[in-house]
């Protein structure tokens, strides 16, 4: 089983995770820019974070044979903080970088006017930079958040096939299915979407434009839930080709629209993950930050 996790925050994970992911078949990932868990206090904090998403983290992933790409944005939560908003002016510089395959995560957290403004501005950036957009949907008041997100997407003029609405569930899937947008599902260990629930949605709605991710970060999450979903699909009678479509070909097709997805040399389903040695600006992953 070859796996492309289209949404995972590896900066907050360990090398043990990379090892287990590679052993489970994860060969490629996309890491969206998101918040820290605590407020950032200046735009400079984003500069270092974005630099690590296109520098150190792809290097670290490469040590385990995992190909790493990133999406860059001011996330919805931080769009409300006046100390963070100036980062919008820094984004164009990052959206031109090779490893950046979309604008994201953008969208709504609490659906404030500030979030409206940042969301629309960043969809315009996606259009201007010819990139897809990754839209986070709020965890509270989800249906209203999805409806409002779809309205903002429609207003922006971005082609729906270049947008994914993420963190969907049984209720919100219906709102997005016929819009032409892609549908993202985050599989969590004990709340929200689980592998069996995901299988039911795939039975009901098919595999087209469906993306499955672990959204693993510094909270309770599990980077192997993509694999668990593939196993649950097989157990439910889906074919290996169906699994490959959902867990590999769909994310490749979606992020491939950036023209920047580079999967050359990535080991195939049965190939051993090819770890690479070396250093990134003089640092290896052999020891911690001492
Ligand atoms: Zn996320």
Q: DSSP letter string over 196-233?
A: HHHHHHHHHH-STTEEEE----SSS--TTHHHHHHHHH
For residue 7, the CA-to-ligand 1 centroid distance in Å is 6
Please give the distance, rounded to the nearest whole angstrom, from the Cα atom of residue 33 to the centre of ligand 1. Answer: 8
Buried b (16+ CB within 10 A) or exposed e, 245-284: bbbbebbeebbebbeebeeeebbeeeeebeeeeeebeeee
pLDDT digits (tens, 9 = 90+) for 111-129: 999 999 999 999 999 999 9
CA of 166 to the centre of ligand 1 (A): 9
Percent of the chain with pLDDT over 90: 88
The Å distance, Cα 165 to ligand 1 centre, comes to 12
CA–centroid distance, 139 to ligand 1, in Å, is 12
- Separation CA 41–CA 274 (nearest Å): 39
Q: What is the 212 CA–ligand 1 centroid distance (Å)? A: 13
| pTM of the model as a whole | 0.94
Q: How many angstroms does the Cα of residue 201 sit away from the middle of ligand 1?
A: 21
Report the alpha-carbon distance of residue 134 to residue 119 in Å, rounded.
11
**pLDDT value at residue 191:** 74
The predicted pLDDT at position 139 comes to: 86
* Ligand 1 centroid from CA 183, angstroms: 14
Determine the pLDDT at residue 289: 58
Regions of the chain with pLDDT less than 50: 273
Q: Ligand 1 centroid vs 34 CA: distance in angstroms?
A: 6
Cα of 160 vs centre of ligand 1, distance in Å, is 20
Residue 7: name the closest of 267, 152, 183 by CA: 183
pLDDT at 152: 98
């Amino acid at each position: 089983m070859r796996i492309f996790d289209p949404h995972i925050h590896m900066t907050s994970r360990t090398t043990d995770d990379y090892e287990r992911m590679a052993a489970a078949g994860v060969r490629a990932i996309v890491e969206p820019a998101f918040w820290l868990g605590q407020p950032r206090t200046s735009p400079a904090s984003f500069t270092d974070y974005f630099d690590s998403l296109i520098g150190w983290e792809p290097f670290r992933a490469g040590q385990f044979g995992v190909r790493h790409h990133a999406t860059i944005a001011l996330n919805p939560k931080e769009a409300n903080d006046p100390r963070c908003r100036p980062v919008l002016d820094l984004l164009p510089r990052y959206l031109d970088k090779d490893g950046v395959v979309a604008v994201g995560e953008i969208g709504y957290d609490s659906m404030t006017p500030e979030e409206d403004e940042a969301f629309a501005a960043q969809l315009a950036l996606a259009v201007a930079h010819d990139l897809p957009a990754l839209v986070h949907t709020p965890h509270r008041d989800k249906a209203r958040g999805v409806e409002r997100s779809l309205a903002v997407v429609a207003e922006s003029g971005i082609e729906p096939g270049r947008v994914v609405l993420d963190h969907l569930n049984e209720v919100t899937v219906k709102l997005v299915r016929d819009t032409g947008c892609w549908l993202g599902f985050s599989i969590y260990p004990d709340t929200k979407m689980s592998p069996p629930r995901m299988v039911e949605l795939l039975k009901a709605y098919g595999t087209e434009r469906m993306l499955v991710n672990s959204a693993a970060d510094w909270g309770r999450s599990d980077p192997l839930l993509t694999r668990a979903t593939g196993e649950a699909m097989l157990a439910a009678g889906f074919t290996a080709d169906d699994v490959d479509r959902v867990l590999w070909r769909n994310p490749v097709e979606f992020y491939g629209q950036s023209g920047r997805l580079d999967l050359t040399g990535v080991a195939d389903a049965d190939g051993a993950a090819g770890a690479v040695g070396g250093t990134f600006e003089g640092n290896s992953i052999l020891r911690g930050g001492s």
